[in-house]
């Protein structure tokens, strides 16, 4: 701030927020409305497949829907 590098100061503040967990960056994956046409079961299956691809698959028998 003292050197009037305001964009660098803003970027640093944003990064501090992300790293501290106070700010969460989110982004949409897929085309707009891509998931609206899916049923709950189809969406759950797609999520499980993506988790498996990342090596984060939940237990096969667990279904946490209420």
Examine the pLDDT at 51 and tell me if it is beyond 80: yes
- Please count the structural domains in the chain: 1
Does residue 13 sit within a domain? yes
CA 24 to chain centre: 9
Say how far apart CA 65 and CA 58 lie, in whole Å.
Answer: 13
pTM, two decimal places: 0.40
Does residue 29 sit within a domain? yes
Residues 6+ apart with CB under 8 A from 58: 48, 51, 64
Does residue 61 sit within a domain? no
Does residue 64 sit within a domain? no
Q: Mean pLDDT across the stretch 48-61?
A: 79
Does residue 42 sit within a domain? yes
Does residue 65 sit within a domain? no
pLDDT score for 6: 93
Q: What domain range includes position 28? A: 6-53
Say how far apart CA 5 and CA 19 lie, in whole Å.
Answer: 21
Examine the pLDDT at 65 and tell me if it is beyond 60: no
DSSP string, 6-18: HHHHHHHHHHHHH
Examine the pLDDT at 32 and tell me if it is beyond 70: yes
Does residue 15 sit within a domain? yes
Does residue 58 sit within a domain? no
């Amino acid at each position: 701030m003292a050197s009037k590098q305001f964009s660098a100061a803003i970027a640093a503040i944003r990064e501090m927020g992300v790293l501290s967990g106070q700010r969460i960056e989110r982004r949409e994956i897929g085309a707009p409305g891509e998931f609206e046409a899916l049923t709950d079961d189809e969406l759950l299956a797609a999520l499980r497949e993506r988790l498996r691809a990342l090596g984060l698959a939940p237990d096969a028998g667990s279904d946490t829907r209420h």
